Structure 1
Amino acid sequence: MARIVILGAGIGGVPMAFEMKEMVDKKHDVTVISDTPTFHFVPSNPWVPPKWRKPEDLKIELAPVMKKKGIEFIQKAAAKVDPINNQIQLADNSTFAYDFLIIATGPRLAFDEIPGLGPNGYTSSVCHVDHAAIAAEDLDKFMQNPGPIVVGAVQGASCFGPAYEYLMILETELRNRKIRDKVPMTFVTSEPYIGHLGLGGVGDTKGLLESALRDKTIKWITNAKIDKIEPGLIFVTEVDEDGNDKKKHELPFKHSMMLPAFTGVDAVRHVNAEGLVNARGFVLVDEYQRNKTFKNIYSVGVCIAIPPIEKTPLPVGAPKTGYMIESMVTATAHNIADELAGKEPAHKATWNALCLADLGDTGVAFLAIPQIPPRNTTWSAEGKWVHLAKIGFEKYFMRKIRKGISEPYYEKLILKLLGVTRIKEKGE
């Protein structure tokens, strides 16, 4: 009997556990190790600061769900992965051995790379539900004494969608409160242009998002490098297309949310085992989601290494969207099951990008098949239906997680909502 361990219990780790258990049933043990007792639905975090959602709305207790599925759940932080000895050292100095390890930790949020960045500095974050709860407190104070707002993503960031979402959700909330006229808003991003999204743009995302910002009288700065953040002031260097300094900006703010760059988590990035991770601590995988050096280690989600889509003046990472992660999970479950049956891995993730970006009272959706150009399908659209679709998907996803149901969440629901099933089936 093999012991299959999943490290992490987020958007990738929890569906991974469900699908892996269904593939191997009672023949093999499946264990989830997580530093938190709850699953968090990260895509809805931007709704927490304006109190469109409560933090508890986005959390699910994992122990009872895992028990019902016959999955062992260990709520302990991992100190270090030891791929040489096939074990994980936990924070309490105990160890846990594995035959197969699936790393699904998500990223480390690299706030430390820019002075003053993050909840321990002077800006807010929506990368974690607990950070979003802190942002809600800051926003409450802001509403009593409004002023300039600065939202965006720093150099090296790879997840830009939540920045656009948070910006436009706040804009909608300010209009609802009848105080939008008191709040100058600026979007600051390391992207070379609005709507790049780390993907080189998808369809007309450049035009759609530029139009949305113009319509709401929101200023923007692209190719923006954040130098430091002080109380109420962000220091920005705008660079030219060659990456040379072009203009300096000092942006005052009363409230700011800036997405950080990511690295691998400490338990993985500090491992002294060549070939497991890259220089930023992201897990190196082949086309089967398997590490080439340690072949009993697989990885899914934001913690894997993917090269940038293209060269840009400032570092811009490639995002790992939910649809893409879902395909990694399915491929990994089938490949480990094949290995246990004495076969070689043969299943590959599709790595398609599908995103529903809520813009407060409307939204932008885009689909890239595959995510990395050149693409077979490039599509984008806008409308209030995107806002409503994202609300529906949140409810659907959370209900399935609570029930411990493994299925292609994005494949079954979002493609129907977007009306692009025909595109996928015909391969257009």
Structure 2
Amino acid sequence: MAHIVILGAGVGGMNMAYEMREEARAEDRVTVISNLPYFQFTPSNPWVAVNWRKPDDITIPAAPYLNKKNIDFIAVGAARVHPERNQVELTDGQVIDYDYLVIATGPKLAFDEVPGLGPEGHTQSVCQVEHAAAAAKVWDSFVEEPGPIVVGAVQGASCYGPAYEFAFIMDTDLRKRKIRDRVPMTFVTAEPYIGHLGLGGVGDSKGLLESALRERHIKWICNAKVTKVEAGKMFVAEHNDKGEIIKEHELPFAYSMMLPAFKGIDAVFGIEGLTNPRGFITIDAHQRNPKFRNIFSVGVCVAIPPVEVTPVPTGTPKTGYMIESMVTATVHNIRALLDGKEPTEKATWNAICLADFGDTGAAFVAIPQIPPRNVNWFKEGKWVHLAKVAFEKYFMRKMKTGTTEPLYEKYVLGLLGIKKLK
């Protein structure tokens, strides 16, 4: 019998648990450990932040659904991974032994890297459902006394889609309330240009997103480094292509949401051979750590180098399809080890995204994610908004039923008219 432990109960962790339980031998144990007692569908958090969704709409308690599939669940956070002992130490003092460990924790949100950033400072967040719920309360107050908005992503961020989404969702909500004319908006991003997305652009993402911002009267500042945030004021250093500061901005705001940079969680940070300097898990082509051969990793916590060097640091995103592909490869590789064989499966590192704009949206496909690409496609339309609404329902149903159906491949690719990614 082998004990397979999964750290994290997000998109990667829950999918990993369901697929691993189905693929593992009957005598093997599968245990999920999470610092939260529930699963949250993170892509819907921007809707929560403007009260288009409630937290209960996009969360489910993890234990009953996992237990139903004969998967153990421990709702206690990890204090430290001890790979040399094959153990995970929990914050309540428990020590969990494992034969195989899958790290699927997602990131630590590095708000502390910019003074005054984040929910404990002066800006809002849509990275977690608790943050989005808190942002919704601030939004309720804001629309009573509207003023300037600053929205975007700071230096080192590796997930830009939600920043664009939230800017457009706020714009839509304000237009519905007929107060958009009272709200100047500025999009601030570390990207070298609008639509870079941490991917070097996808198709005509630059032209399409610039046009979308112009159409909605949203100004922007690229190559931006946020130096500090004070109550009602953001300090931004704008750089040129050489990385030189060309302008200092003091941006007043009555409401602001800025995505932070990501780093690895404290439980793994600084473990030599397991993580890179930012605390992300280093893996080989089979999602396996090169030093600790019984540790695998999937999702946002995986170390992926930037697509290119940019004047202000930008990271590389990990989209849902990529995470789903990582999970399936990892499951089959662990099963191979259980059978005394070596891992052979590799994830398909392609990027697929449905980005909601409130009443329309944009979809992009990058195959592979890192250029040059075989497919480089970006389109806008109301159908994307409708598709994302529908996909949310499909995904929440998947989490409740424990199906291992590959939703991104089956639903999103089918929607885009692509039969299968090679």
Q: TM-score, normalised by structure 1?
A: 0.98
SS in 1 for 2:194: coil
In structure 1, C-alpha distance between the alignment counterparts of 2:347 and 2:418, rounded to whole Å: 20
Deviates more, 1:69-78 or 1:152-161: 69-78
Q: CA deviation at 1:300?
A: 0.2
Question: Over the residues paired in the alignment, what is the CA RMSD in angstroms?
Answer: 0.8
What does residue range 148-159 of structure 1 map to in structure 2 within 5 Å? 148-159=148-159
Q: CA deviation at 1:25?
A: 4.1
Give the letter aligned to residue 231 of structure 2.
P
SS in 1 for 2:363: strand
Q: Which runs of 5+ in 1 are unaligned?
A: none
Aligned partner of 2:237 in structure 1 is: 237
Cα shift readout 1:12-31 (whole Å, capped 9, x = no counterpart): 00000000110014131111
User: 1:129 Cα deviation (Å)?
Assistant: 0.4
5 Å-filtered alignment, 1:146-225, equals 146-225=146-225
Find the residue that maps to 2:186 and give its secondary structure.
strand
- How far apart are residue 50 of structure 1 and its match? 1.3
Specify the alignment match of 2:391 in structure 1: 393
8 Å CA contact 2:270–2:277 kept in 1: the answer is no
Q: Secondary structure at the match of 1:269?
A: coil
Q: Which residue does 2:286 correspond to in 1?
A: 288
> Aligned to 2:228, what secondary structure does the other structure show?
strand
1:326 to 307, 324, 327: 324
Residues 7-16 or 400-409, more deviating: 400-409
Letter paired with 1:287: A
Counterpart of 2:411 in structure 1 is: 413
Matching residue's letter, 1:254: A
1:335 maps to 333
Tell me which residue corresponds to 1:55: 55
State the Cα distance separating 1:376 from its structure 2 match: 1.2
Match for residue 13 of structure 1? Answer: 13
1:358 is matched with which residue?
356
Deviation of the 1:93 alpha carbon: 1.3
Does residue 257 in structure 1 map to residue 257 in structure 2? Answer: yes
Task: Describe how 1:302-313 pairs up with structure 2 within 5 A.
Answer: 302-313=300-311
User: CA-to-partner distance for each residue in 1:238-265, whole Å, 9 max, x for gaps?
Assistant: 0010111110000000000000000001
1:378 maps to what in 2?
Answer: 376
Identity over aligned pairs, percent: 65
- Cα pair 1:80 1:270 within 8 Å, conserved: no
Contact 1:104 1:303 in 2 (8 A): yes
Question: Aligned partner of 2:284: which letter?
Answer: D
Q: Deviations over 1:34-87 (max 9, x none)?
A: 111100000000001211100111101111111110011111111000000000
3-state DSSP of counterpart to 1:173: helix
Count of aligned positions: 422
- Give distance in 1, aligned partners of 2:2 and 2:49: 44
SS at match of 1:225: strand
C-alpha separation in 2, matches of 1:374 and 1:340: 37
* Paired AA for residue 234 in structure 1: M
Runs of 5+ unmatched residues, structure 2: none
Equivalent position amino acid for 2:400 in 1: R
**Superimposed CA distance per residue, residues 275-295 of structure 1 (whole angstroms, 9 cap, x where no aligned partner):** 100000000000000000000
SS at match of 1:319: coil
Partner of 2:130: 130
2:405 & 2:27 partners in 1: Cα distance? 21
How far off is 1:420 after superposition?
Answer: 2.3
